[in-house]
Amino acid sequence: MSADVRAAEPTPAERVRSVLAAATSLTVTTDGHSCHLMDVHHVDERGRLGLRLPADSCLAGRAAAAPRGGLAALVEFTDVAPTAVRDRVRARVTLSGWLTPVTPAPDADTVGLRLDAARATLETAEGVLRVGLDEIVLTAPDPLATHEPAMLIHLADSHPEAVERLTRLIDPSRLQGVVRVLPLALDRYALTLRLEHPRGHHDARLPFPTPMRNADEAGDRIQELLATARGCSHRRRTFQRP
């Protein structure tokens, strides 16, 4: 098992659902007005986005006063790596559609808004991809989506020697000039390491023997990778510690 083997990856729809599930902030743009919001969104089991805002907020007022009952809006999420890698933005998700007040209101002090989405896009280092809304509805987030930040930070901060050992699974030619290695991403299929050079970087996905079914299996899967790495003949290298 090595990084040279093409690892299965989450689908674009699954990545969208995972970003929505794990995000704590978002930006809403309506008719030239933008606002950055924290801890106000939720996603139902069908992937539909809702917001809960103070009743006296500007956005709630604009939605209530919108003609034909819907306020055209762009809702943007940014997926940022939890570890201190270069270029920490891993993906951006943009949903466009109409914000509509939900009745009845959640309570006297707040207003619920529902996004009736018309379009969804996923932007990654590979480019921008339009994702079908029906695919998003039928897809669940990766089972590690909300657990990933804590797991990656723990791996980087508490087990840097394990991260170095995992580089034995990477073709030595890909390690030439690498000065630092950090965990970048974790999903049910693989762990991704970022290999940083003095003036650039590239990534290596290390596939698990079998996909994870839930977050409780993460420790065992990483131990399986480490066991394979111990058996590799590549000489161990020492990289800069974060």
Residues 90 and 186 in one domain: no
Q: What is the pLDDT of residue 237?
A: 62
Residues 172 and 119 in one domain: no
Residues 55 and 154 in one domain: no
pTM for the structure as a whole: 0.91
Q: What is the pLDDT of residue 4?
A: 45
**Residue at a domain's end among 96, 111, 138:** 138
CA distance linking residue 152 with residue 155, whole number of Å:
5
Residue 2 lies in a domain: no
Residues 47 and 159 in one domain: no
- Summarize pLDDT for 78-127 with one digit per residue, the tens: 999 999 999 999 999 999 999 999 988 888 899 999 999 999 999 999 99
Domain membership of residue 116 as a residue range: 12-138
**Residue at a domain's end among 87, 114, 138:** 138
Average pLDDT, the chain: 92
- Summarize pLDDT for 152-184 with one digit per residue, the tens: 999 999 999 999 999 999 999 999 999 999 999
Q: What is the pLDDT of residue 1?
A: 46
Q: What is the pLDDT of residue 123?
A: 98
Residues 130 and 220 in one domain: no
Q: Which residue shows structure tokens 């707040």?
A: 110
- Identify the CATH number of the domain in which residue 154 sits: 3.20.180.10
Exposure of 174 by Cβ count < 10 A (0-12 exposed, 13-18 middle, 19+ buried)? middle
- Summarize pLDDT for 31-86 with one digit per residue, the tens: 889 999 999 999 998 889 999 999 999 999 999 999 887 999 999 999 999 999 99
Cis before 54 (ω within 30): no
Q: What is the pLDDT of residue 235?
A: 56
